[in-house]
Structure formats: structure tokens, C-alpha cells
Amino acid sequence: MELRAKLQAATKDAMKAKDSARLSTLRLIGAAVRDREIAARGGDGDGTLTEADLVLILSRMVKQRQESAKAYEEGGRLELAAKEEAEIGIIQEFLPRQMTEAETTAAIDAAVSELGASSIRDMGRVMAVLKDRHAGQMDFGAVGPMVKARLMG
């Protein structure tokens, strides 16, 4: 089942179950997707989003909530941090499985050897390949330093 259909089915199920917290998060996802579709229509595109676009939207939503939860924890607002963490869990249900550290290292090695990358100047190309192939499956904030270390070492 494609991601968009999964989201719609989950929204219907949450409505039937009267799960307001889950429904609220699913509606936020739906709104973010619709906003992105409208923005895509503004250019020359027809407004249709690929699975990769949807994964990117969800990944950004998770990252935003992680930052918010951290800020709430630092500010002593633990109930709000818990709400953000709950939303992260719901959003992550629709993301591809996160790669393990070993899988990430193997993907980096494959991209570096495939591109013939040999210096730090090639980092952008390596990161672009990884983002194309593994969007939503790896934390690129952590991957960047790994790629840099691989190219320098």
C-alpha cells in the first residue's frame, strides 16, 4: 500500500476509534502534504508528490518535533515534551525503517566507491547520492560527520 493510502486509512481508523491525539497528528501530516502539493502546483509542476517527497515531509516533521521536545525539556515543560515525543512515534510509523549503524556505514562506503570520491570536495556529491537513495532511512545530521571522516581518512 502506498504511503498516501496508509495515511488516509490511519486517519479513518483514528476517527472511528475516537483517538484524538493520533487523529490530530495525522491531520497535521495531511495538512503538511496538502501544503506541499499546493506549493508544487505553483511552479510548472502538476502538484503530485512522489513517495520520496512524502518521506521527506515526514522526516522534516520528525526533526521539528525532536527540536521542540528538546526545547521543552530544557524549559522544564515535560508535558509538552511528552506530547511532541508521542507525535514523533506516530509520524515514524509511516517512515521507512531506520538503517543500523553498520548499514549506514556500508551505504556510505558504497556511495564513496561508486563515485570514486577521494577528498572532502566530493562530500556534497556523496551526500546527494545518500539522500536520493536513503531519504527517511538515516539521520543525515549524523551521517555528515561519518562521510567527512571517511573522505578524510
Where exactly does CATH 1.10.10.410 map onto the chain? 101-152
Contact 99, 134 (CB under 8 A): yes
Mean confidence (pLDDT) of the chain: 89
Three cell numbers at 119?
A: 577528498
- Is the pLDDT reported for residue 119 higher than 90? no
All CATH 1.10.1510.10 domain ranges of the chain, comma separated, are 3-92
Domain topology for 101-152: Arc Repressor Mutant, subunit A (1.10.10)
For residue 78, count CB atoms less than 10 angstroms from its CB and return exposed for 0-12, middle for 13-18, buried for 19 or more: exposed
Q: How far apart are CA 27 and CA 30, in angstroms?
A: 5
Q: What is the mean pLDDT of residues 30-38?
A: 91
What value does the mean pLDDT take over residues 56-73? Answer: 92
Q: How far apart are CA 127 and CA 36, in angstroms?
A: 23
Tell me the average pLDDT across 23-52: 85
- What pLDDT, on a 0 to 100 scale, did the predictor assign at position 150? 87
Residue matched to cell numbers 551505504: 107
- Assign a CATH topology to domain 3-92: Hypothetical Protein Yqey; Chain: A; domain1 (1.10.1510)
Give the residue-averaged pLDDT of 51-57.
84
Q: Which of 21, 28, 23, 29 is nearest to 4 (CA)?
A: 29
